[in-house]
Structure 1
Amino acid sequence: MSLKNLQKNNSTIEFKEIEQKGTLVVKSWNDNSFGFFIPKKTKIPSFSNIYLFEEFSSIYNSKTNIWEFIFTPEKRDSNIVKREFEFNYDGEIFNCYFDVSSNILNFFAKHFVLLKQETKTSYRNLRQFKDYFIKDKPDYVKEYYKDRIPFSFYVKGNIDKIVDKIHFAKTLNFYLSYYDRESPIIQIFNNDVTENLFKKPCYSLFDEFPNSINANKMDSTLLDILNVAHKTEDIRLEFIFYYQILEYCSYYFIEQEDEFKLKKILKQPDINYKADDYIKEILEVLSERFNVHKTSDKIRLDKTIKNYCKIEDIELELYENESLFKQDIHFDGGLKIKALFKDKTAIETNGPGIFNDVINNITKIRNVIVHLRESRENTVILPTERNNIYLLPYLYLLRRISEKIALQFN
């Protein structure tokens, strides 16, 4: 009956009977990466008032008004577990403190089982708790847990009065890190269903990974930027880093192009006899360069991209996320990006036009991310999870373009 109460309060939970051996509880917190196997005749605690919010690694007891965030087995004398303070939020006082983990959490940990590969939720931090409770541990694991016990971070107060729990957690996180840069903070997960909305296109998507790769000599600065972009988990920062590739290359591309033109003029064998004519050509190069630099970075960027890339270089990205590129994108905050095409056949019939739109849209998105708003339209891209989903297909396009340029740039 107790497990039924847990399911009643948390509708995503499902039960699977395992050959008369016990019950497997799955999709707690709406997370299918792990479960709880509870053998027959196991004494089960009361779950009547237990709620598992899928946005957090937490356990909420509505009877005691205690919201428990799963932390980690920590040393008893650690300064962090001694932390205790009041948090005044929206006129309500909440007591915040670290303490030993609850019996409910310990029960979950003892019966925790892995079901799938680890996701961004990190098994809701339960894996370390499970290791703590395992009796037959290797010696090196025993040494690690020797002076540790399971701890949680608690928030006690009128939790039900918190209208927006994510906003509450973000606000609390701000103050935690404001006063202590190394403070643990509350993990917050997106509960929107984003799977299968987009695909990660790759050159090896339909073929086997190549048996042989000829490495180009690549610019060290570009490699550093690419490496940082690849490691960055924040979509907006990643977008900015890949765009920096374009900016870096466009600056030096124009420099190199002008240098090549001037050298070509100066190497003409009859330059001494036609000095007046060649001076005019030199002045035209310098004038064009000055105007390009002065009028628009966008002109330089377009010129650089089109020198190194063409529509064929991003066809895979366009085909793989065709459904998203076929519709207008309305970002939370007002910015609107028009559809690239109505049908994918346009990629072949109007490739250059679509390529121009891709470049323009990428630049527009970058400007809004950096400057917060699009100046002419007074629109923004708010930092919402929904917007992150819309940004991803364009991030893939930008990434492929920046990679193609970085491979060829010298």
Structure 2
Amino acid sequence: MIDPAPIQLDPAFDNVWDELQYRGSVHVSTDPEALRTLLGGDPITFYCGFDPTAPSLHLGNLAQLIVMRRLQLAGHRPLALVGGSTGLIGDPKPTSERQLNTRETVAEWVTYLQAQVLRFLSDEGESAVRLVNNLDWTAPLSTVDFLREVGKHFRVGTMLRKDAVAARMESDEGISYAEFSYQVLQGMDFLELHRRYGCLMQTGGSDQWGNLTAGTELLRKAEGVHAHAIGTPLITDAEGRKFGKSEGNAVWLDANLTTPYAMYQFWLNQDDAIVVQLLKSFTFLPQERIEQLATATAEAPFRREAQRVLAIEATSFIHGADATQQAIDASQALFGSGDLAALDLPTLAAAVGSLDKQATATPDAPVLQLLQETGLVDSLSDGRRAIAQGGVSVNNERIDDPGATLDGRLLHGRFAVLRRGKKTLAGVDAAPAA
């Protein structure tokens, strides 16, 4: 069985701020020296917000949750805000207006996201996470009170200069008053959390920096308090493309949307150029171990040791060691000597669905026909030769008869993995007719 590293701070660092810096978790911030002093002193209360614009958190949110967990391990008290009100509006995208979800949908997604947060942050002890919902303080507030108590502190010129707003102002679509006001709502969250819980710091993605500083400025103007913000780097692939639902390539933290097998493969397939940074950002491995893996990547990249460790550590943190072991077993069953029949249905379905070559079939479909349909062979005669040479298998069992069918060979009554040679695979889904 795998043995993931313990979830703890690196003892090489005396101050959690120094560890965040080493891990590349700070792209932009308010006063760095003041933050180092603040985070190296007595515990503070800090927050991060997550808007329920989907039924699950994703990889970008995970980056925030890990920063929160590191701060929590250092004794600081996290507030996890799931935005029941800001989720009804949505922060402005640089390109177009968001589609508004119904109140019922947003309320349902709030409960989903709150449950997910508790998978990553401890709710026990003096630094236990507290779940908060900004609908609690916005719903009772009248429009006039909102404008008098909060809106009066904001200057339109400053709001127009925020990156997302400026981009939308230059577009053909423009920006609605609702989305333009989003930064005021988020700023009010910081003010309210300071008043209720003494919150002094907010974390978020660097693309949210305008919204983060809206909150620090509001606290300065309304309360005379010098609060802080940390903007983390955006998570991108080796080509610099952002991962996220708005980019159409989201990696979800819900196992029903991105299976543990798919999650494991995602980390396993990362490029050498970014794997060390991903180890820093998404694992709790100490600096010494990460440097060992960096050396291994430089000296023997073909072994992909860093990717394997990253896949184990990150998937275990997200889905647990048992689900990660299932994903490893599935990989071995597909590409090694493991037992496909031992995989549970969700893992098997994810593994079969990950193969590049695919076909649907009836439960009694001829194997020879499927070899051609999936492109494992060029023709039926080519398929017969491959079978005669002992180079074809179904679910890792060799096929000797060119007239063989899937009948009696399907796993979970539905799936089959066709193999030609050692490494050329295709997946078959023989789901019964509805």
Q: Do they superpose with TM above 0.5?
A: no
What band does the TM-score fall into relative to the shorter chain? under 0.3
- Normalising by structure 1, what TM-score? 0.26
Q: Which has the higher strand share?
A: 1
- Normalising by structure 2, what TM-score? 0.25
